[in-house]
Amino acid sequence: MCGIVGYVGERSAQDVVIEGLRRLEYRGYDSAGIALVGAHGLASDKRAGKLANLEKAIADHPLPAATTGIGHTRWATHGAPNDVNAHPHLGAARRVAVVHNGIIENFAELRARLEDDDHVLVSETDTEIAAHLLELQVQSGVDLTTAMQRVCSQLEGAFTLVAVDADDPERVVAARRNSPLVVGIGEGESFLGSDVAAFIEHTREALELGQDQVVTLTRAGVEVSTFDGRPAEGRRYHVDWDLSAAEKDGHDWFMRKEIFEQPRAVADSLLGRRSASGRLQLDEMRLSDQELRDVTKIIIIACGTSFYAGMVAKYAIEHWCRIPVEVELASEFRYRDPILDYSTLVVAISQSGETADTLQAIRHARVQRSKVLAICNTNGSTIPRESDAVIYTHAGPEIGVASTKGFLTQLVACYLLALYLAQVKGTRYGDEIDQVLGQLEAVPGQIEAVLEQAPAIYELARTHRDSGSVLFLGRHAGYPVALEGALKLKELAYLHAEGFAAGELKHGPIALVDQGLPVLCVVPPQGRDQLHDKMLSGIQEVRARGARTICLAEEGDERITPYADELIRLPRVPVLLQPLVAVVPLQLFACELATALGHDVDQPRNLAKSVTVE
């Protein structure tokens, strides 16, 4: 959530900041603002609503030209989403402007102290207190960098702060603690962003900050220090994707583009996973084979879509490795006093690597001596850095708030983890692991085959514009797919949608079935125990009560035909791998239905891409 941009250089700071904010719109926000500083002093404007509202305001009332500036798109935490609570926030003398991501947990105490000293705070936010505290410091005679170090030492919580000083127009200063921030390094100019999309148009040279660090940007370059003033160094790296990766490529929505990028994303996530001898290798695995052999229990922690990837991982790990697996919502994990020790492996799944609930959960696990492995898409983000091992998904940037290729590449990473554990523990022979890797490597082509059915799926989705409720059914690895399909419809179409394990129908949910109710059914492949027969029974039960069944079934399955009002064919894959192909039609269905209803598919209401507060 909350997009942050900062700039110092020769260009128009307003143009750089506004364009950067536009490239961060995918993060979800409810207001936008900008502050510029130059010979004129400090000028600022901010507006509730979309970035277009801010652009119109500064077109009607232009801000003075400047080459230093900061900007922000806010997702409300403290205070309603209105003009007053929007960022930037200014100090009492309007000398310092601040933008902020995260939550300052001791803000009430600090606010009371400021108000006791006769400071008048005009917003409901925790951010405004940082502006007042910074301004007090620079008024005492220290520079903005020292002021930021001193103020951050007083703050509790997770935050990114970025500030400018009207009396120091050649400097932008920022700080981070448990909140995303990246620096862009150019020739005679420097950039800041919540992620590299904010400045990728101008430079691919980036600097990753560590925890509790302050960075000072000038035209000459950047300097990093700790909160206690000691010199520090960030990690330089080159961004290996370009601006075109963040463009829609002819599609109406980023999400639709990303759905069609999934064959390439899955292929990329499998690259380099075999050694010269053919064995599975995970280059980012920093846990030794012996440490993995000592694992007797696995707990997977995640939120939202990532949680459903974790549910699929449970089926794969338990089947291939014979290790008991629990799947937990990260937001609940540490509050139930989980049983953890050195033999427990905690697997944290997070697309952004900054998910606050998941981050706090892994910290709790490490205190209990458990090993932590992260599955993540964002190189250098907090969760991988605080984990003992990481599997990067290599999905590339995902702009749409509702995850698509992020989910599929998380599934691939989960399968790779399961196979790697089986290889280390010896629970599967080498030729068995090689067979599954071969099946995974065939999946990109199979996803392509599903995507060829997109026109028919779109037409089907449009026929359900008047549906008020939709149910999803699945069994085994198809159950998490049903849950994910329902979540996509909730996120995008704002419809009541629920996913169920098909065997649970008779235990209550069948009461929801009424005449004409759409029920999407993920039919297991034929021949796996009695899963297929049991699923057919469930489909017949809902159909007998008037439901309209939309069935996703593998090619060659003719037994399903009499019970499907609509039939979407899936490539033939093993039951454990079916989620990789079965979820794609549900993504297409939700995207098109939301489009038909006139909703903003890329930025659904009330949602943010990365949830960085608890």
Q: Which residues are catalytic?
A: 2, 609
**Owner of token pair 């410091």:** 137
Coil, strand, or helix at residue 348?
Answer: strand
For residues 392 and 370, give the distance between their C-alpha atoms in angstroms, rounded to a whole number.
20
- Tokens representing 143 are 């520079």
**Owner of token pair 């009002």:** 565
Coil, strand, or helix at residue 244?
Answer: helix
Contacts of 348 (CB under 8 A, 6+ apart): 300, 301, 302, 330, 358, 361, 362, 372, 373, 374, 375, 376, 383, 387
At residue 567, what is the residue type?
A: L
For residues 8 and 77, give the distance between their C-alpha atoms in angstroms, rounded to a whole number.
29
Query: What is the CA angle 268-272-277, rounded to 5?
Result: 150
For residues 106 and 57, give the distance between their C-alpha atoms in angstroms, rounded to a whole number.
34
- The residue among 326, 318, 386, 360 whose CA lies nearest residue 612 is 360
Q: Which residues of 16-40 are buried (b: 16+ CB within 10 A; e: fewer)?
A: bbbbbbbbbbbbbbbbbbbbbbbee
For residues 108 and 131, give the distance between their C-alpha atoms in angstroms, rounded to a whole number.
15
* φ, ψ (nearest 5 deg) of residue 409: -75, -30
**In this structure, are residues 334 and 377 in contact, taking their beta carbons and an 8 Å threshold?**
no
Q: For residue 104, what are the β-bridge partners?
A: 157
For residues 402 and 603, give the distance between their C-alpha atoms in angstroms, rounded to a whole number.
8
| C-beta neighbour count of 533 within 10 angstroms | 11
For residues 142 and 138, give the distance between their C-alpha atoms in angstroms, rounded to a whole number.
5
- The residue among 179, 145, 146 whose CA lies nearest residue 160 is 179
End-to-end CA distance of the chain: give it in Å, rounded: 12
